[in-house]
Amino acid sequence: MTAVEYELAGDIAVLTIKNPPVNAASQAVRAGLVTQIERAEREAKAVLIVGDGHTFIAGADISEFGKPPQDPWLPGVCSRIEDCSLPVVAALHGTALGGGLEVALGAHYRVAIGSAKVGLPEVHLGIMPGAGGTQRLPRLTGTETALDMITTGRHVSAAEALEFGILDKISDGTPRDIGLAYAEQVLKEGNGPRPTRDMPAPEPVDFDAWHQKLITAGKGQIAPATAVRAVQAACDLPFDDGLAKERELFSDLMNSPQREGLIHAFFAERAVSKLPELQDVVPRELTRIGVVGGGTMGAGIAGAALLAGLSVTLIERDRAAAEKAEKTVNALLDGAEKRGKLSQARRKDITAGAFSTATDYAALSDADLVIEAVFEDIAVKKEVFAKLDQVCKDSAILATNTSYLDINEIAAATSRPQSVIGLHFFSPAHIMKLLEIVVADKTAPDVVATGFALAKRLRKTAVRAGVCDGFIGNRILAHYRMAVDNMVLDGASPYDVDKALVKFGMAMGPFAVSDLAGLDIGWATRKRKAATRDPRERVPTYADRLCEMGRFGQKTGRGFYLYPDGARKGVEDPEVLDLIAAERAAAGVTPRAFSETDIQTRFICAMINEAARVVEDGIAQRPLDVDVTLIAGYGFPRWRGGPMKYADMTGLETILAHLRNFATEDPFFWQPAPLLERLVEKGRTFEDLNQGMDV
């Protein structure tokens, strides 16, 4: 099979790209385009380029990144298309992204079907357009629009693309038919090639302001700001010099660790849901969802399911609580409607019965799946599951949203442990991307498969986790939290810790996160764990003092930070520093200084060390599952690829050396994970484990 098929339709050479699943511009596609353009010049009067299957071209072939480049390069291919002596039309459907849009910009005319989308999403991969996109797009759209598209990477609808001047026409029909019709019209009107490079250079804008804005907004990510300089070159330099500047900046980004991190994240996010054991397993049907408990999580889960087109019955303890939950869900739906995420028709369905509340569990008799989100108390949960087991139909799946509790114990309260699973959503549940699918000892494969199918329906990133205290994410969180708490006890200010970690790229500092989630959650966990703690463990108690003062975080207006008049961004509070100083004195600690690097190193080493244990214990199946969990649920910078990728890129021996060094102060907490020691000893990496190597 050739990657670019050639066919003569009258005077028009039709070049069809065939490289499933997304027609990525692989070496075979690039070479095929050049060969077939040359053939068309000998045999035809015009050229049409279309994609076979679902889409035009989704971009360069990402799997070739990091490997030696193979001729012909995409920039040369786009220029060759533009230099064609015949008029070239590109007809778009599906997505024309990155190098795909650049191929279309190399063509002289562009048409699309109405559902097509175009974009230059390279910044999401840590790079920028590298095949003329930064030079040709602004010539068509003007500088501001091109800067917006290139620096956000957003997908633009066909209608917008027409308005921006990217498309010449939108038509109904197959891409081949609408493309042929347009090419015939071009020939009939006697129009020849119309190279974008010959269009006037775009007008300059305040590029320094754009650059500065994107440096600040990038939180460490450099690609969007770098792309600004390439667009600037389109305004300042002749076309060929602009292309050379684009190539130089592109190569810098291609060789950056950020590109490596983001490409890892891209493939890891797709690998998490591909579990060999589920390959031939058919998920159970899902139409009706039950939710038990309509508090913070239950209401959010109900909202997420309703937004995905499922019907929901929510159970609360009494009528007043049910009405309160109904209000919360409706407010959440109002918000989604305002943001254009919910159609009026669907809203009507929801009001007409797709959503209901009840206090009697019998209302769940026909539910396909029930998700429990009641208080985090094992006795309450067991009682709820025993009741569900009685009222729900035999095929129904019973899921718990517990954050920490033992799902095997919950499953044992039912007569159907094979149908019990953990579905651990994150707050706010209708927004956060992550869903941990927690598989208990007896959970059946089709129940696991149904969890993944639900996640797909809800557009969430699902990661398989095993049962332990905190599963993947919260278990690792508890450990790195302890590392930062210890640093504060030893002399660091929580505010400096937050600043250092935001600088590292975390979405929020850990103390600001605690204030958002509520300090009472950690307090309850510390009390729960107190009885079983290893006596060698250091347990900083200053957060308990804050809780005793009623400082539970944002919801009480005071936590680690102050939130005057309902402010969402906290203000530092000297009283908290005094309280911590008093705790240090009581514990006999002489405070010492921690630099920004000290804080970042301890934080990331604690995270990696516990993550290695989580992998060794089989709680996460592969290191990449940890990476996706931390990125999608815990604000870890995507451009660093996740903690395990970060560890590989830093060098595992370096991480181990840090751990051994910290262990001289606190041997219990910093004891290196055996898996990490083995990997270093054998010269292996976490990526080797991702690839299935046994170490």
Question: Which of the ranges 219-227, 374-382, 528-536, 585-593 carries the binding residues for ligand NAD, by CB under 6 A?
Answer: 374-382
- Which of ligand NAD, ligand T1G, none has residue 422 at its interface (CB below 5 to 8 Å by kind)? none
Q: Which range binds ligand NAD by CB under 6 A, 185-193, 196-204, 233-241, 291-299?
A: 291-299
DSSP 48: E
Candidates 375-383, 508-516, 574-582, 687-695; binding stretch for ligand NAD (CB under 6 A): 375-383
Cα–Cα distance for residue pair 433/635, rounded to 1 Å: 11
Integer Cα distance of 399 and 359 in angstroms: 19
- Output 296 or 408, the one with its CB closest to ligand NAD: 296
Q: Which residues face 288 on adjacent strands?
A: 311
In terms of CB distance, is 516 or 579 closer to ligand NAD? 516
Burial of 523-535, coded b for 16+ CB within 10 Å and e otherwise, reads bebbeeeeeeeee
Q: In this chain, which of 295, 557, 591, 635 binds ligand NAD, going by CB under 6 A? A: 295
How would you class 98 by CB atoms within 10 Å of its CB: exposed for 0-12, middle for 13-18, buried for 19 or more?
buried
Q: What angle do CA 499, 503, 505 make, to 5 degrees?
A: 120
Instruction: Give CA–CA dist 214/281, Å, rounded.
Output: 45
The minimum distance between CB 583 and ligand T1G, in angstroms, equals 49
List of residues contacting ligand T1G (CB under 6 A): 21-22, 24, 58-63, 74, 95, 97-99, 102, 121-122, 125, 127, 129-131, 133, 270
Contact stretch for ligand NAD (CB under 6 A) within 222-230, 369-377, 388-396, 596-604? 369-377
Residue 122: active-site member: yes
In whole angstroms, how close is the CB of 314 to ligand NAD at the nearest point? 9
How many CA atoms within 13 Å lie on the side-chain side of 133?
35
201 binds, among ligand T1G, ligand NAD, none (CB under 5 to 8 A by kind): none
Burial of residue 247 (number of CB atoms within 10 Å: 0-12, 13-18, 19+): middle
- What strand order describes the sheet that includes 12-17? 4-9, 12-17, 46-51, 88-92, 109-112, 169-170
Task: Please choose which of ligand T1G, ligand NAD, none residue 486 contacts, taking the beta carbon within 5 to 8 angstroms, the exact cut-off set by kind.
Answer: none
Shortest distance in whole angstroms from residue 121 CB to ligand T1G: 4
Out of ligand NAD, ligand T1G, none, what residue 315 binds, judged by CB under 5 to 8 A for its kind, is: ligand NAD
Q: Which of 92, 292, 369, 630 binds ligand NAD (CB under 6 A)?
A: 292
Q: How far is the CB of 119 from ligand T1G (least distance, A)?
A: 8
Nearer to ligand T1G, 221 or 554 (CB): 221
620 secondary structure, DSSP code? B
Pick from ligand T1G, ligand NAD, none: which does 129 bind, CB < 5 to 8 A by kind?
ligand T1G
Question: Which residue in 399, 404, 435, 431 sits closest to 414, CA to CA?
Answer: 399
- State in angstroms the smallest separation of the CB of 679 from ligand NAD: 32
Smallest separation (angstroms) from ligand T1G to the CB of 66: 12
The reply to whether omega before 667 is within 30° of 0 (cis) is: no
Q: Least separation, in Å, of the C-beta of 228 and ligand T1G?
A: 16
Q: Which of 66, 191, 198, 375 binds ligand NAD (CB under 6 A)?
A: 375
| Least Cβ distance, residue 251 to ligand T1G (angstroms) | 11
The residue at minimum Cβ distance from ligand NAD is 295
CA distances from 453 to 162, 435, 458 (A): 36, 12, 9
Q: Which stretch binds ligand NAD (CB under 6 A): 30-38, 311-319, 537-545, 642-650?
A: 311-319
Encode 351-379: b = buried (16+ Cβ within 10 Å), e = exposed: eeebbebeeebebbeebbbbbbbbebeee
Query: Measured from the CB atom, is 12 or 373 closer to ligand NAD?
Result: 373
Angle at 252 between CA 248 and CA 258, to 5 degrees: 150
- Please identify which residue in the block is written with the tokens 């309703």: 306
Residues in the interface with ligand NAD (CB under 6 A) total 24
Q: Residue 561's beta-bridge partner residues?
A: 572
Phi-psi region of 75 (alpha: psi -120 to 50; beta: other; left: phi over 0): alpha
**Of residues 501, 451, 518, 448, the one with CA closest to residue 286:** 451
Indicate whether 473 belongs to the interface with ligand NAD (CB under 6 A): no
Residue with tokens 């990477």, as numbered in its chain:
153
**For residues 130 and 293, which CB has a smaller minimum distance to ligand T1G in the complex?**
130
- Closest contact distance (angstroms) between CB of 614 and ligand NAD is 18
Q: Which of 26, 35, 171, 296 binds ligand NAD (CB under 6 A)?
A: 296
60 binds, among ligand T1G, ligand NAD, none (CB under 5 to 8 A by kind): ligand T1G
* Residue of 103, 233, 384, 576 interacting with ligand NAD (CB under 6 A): 384
Residue 297 touching ligand NAD (CB under 6 A)? yes
Q: Known catalytic residue: 102?
A: yes
Q: Is the dihedral of CA 436, 442, 448, 451 positive or negative?
A: negative
Report how far Cα 234 is from the mean position of its chain's Cα atoms. Answer: 32
Q: Does 371 bind ligand NAD (CB under 6 A)?
A: no
Cβ nearer to ligand NAD, comparing 402 with 621:
402
- The CA–CA distances, whole Å, from 32 to 17, 25, 84, 103, 569 equal 9, 10, 15, 13, 55
529 binds ligand NAD (CB under 6 A): no
Q: Which of residues 95 and 313 has its CB atom nearest to ligand T1G in the complex?
A: 95
* Nearest distance, CB of residue 426 and ligand NAD, angstroms: 6
Q: Considering only the stretches 26-34, 289-297, 440-448, 616-624, report the one whose residues sit in contact with ligand NAD under the rule CB under 6 A.
A: 289-297
* Binding test (CB under 6 A) with ligand NAD, winner from 215, 235, 321, 412: 321
Please give the structure tokens belonging to residue 405.
């509790």
State the DSSP string of 108-157. SEEEE-TT-EEE-GGGGGT----SSHHHHHHHHH-HHHHHHHHHH---EE
Residues 401-440 within binding reach of ligand NAD (CB under 6 A): 401-403, 425-427
For helices 473-490 and 623-634, the axis angle rounded to 10 degrees is: 70
Question: Does residue 293 bind ligand NAD (CB under 6 A)?
Answer: yes
Active-site residue, from 82, 122, 184, 316: 122
CB of 303 to ligand NAD, least distance (A): 12
Q: Does 373 bind ligand NAD (CB under 6 A)?
A: yes
User: What is the number of alpha carbons within 13 Å of residue 515 lying toward its C-beta?
Assistant: 26
Amino acid at position 248, single letter? E
Catalytic residue among 43, 82, 102, 572: 102
Residue of 575, 510, 518, 511 lying closest to 552 (CA atoms) = 518
The one among 236, 376, 409, 616 contacting ligand NAD by CB under 6 A? 376
Instruction: Report which residue type is found at 642.
Output: G
44 lies in the site for ligand NAD, by CB under 6 A: no
- Token match 């006795």: residue? 379
Rounded to a whole number of angstroms, the minimum distance from the CB of residue 264 to ligand T1G is: 12
The residue from 54, 270, 317, 527 that contacts ligand NAD (CB under 6 A) is 317
Which is it for strands 12-17 and 4-9: parallel, antiparallel or unpaired? antiparallel
Task: State the catalytic residues.
Answer: 102, 122
Which residues contact ligand NAD by CB under 6 A?
292-298, 315-317, 321, 373-376, 380, 384, 401-403, 425-427, 517
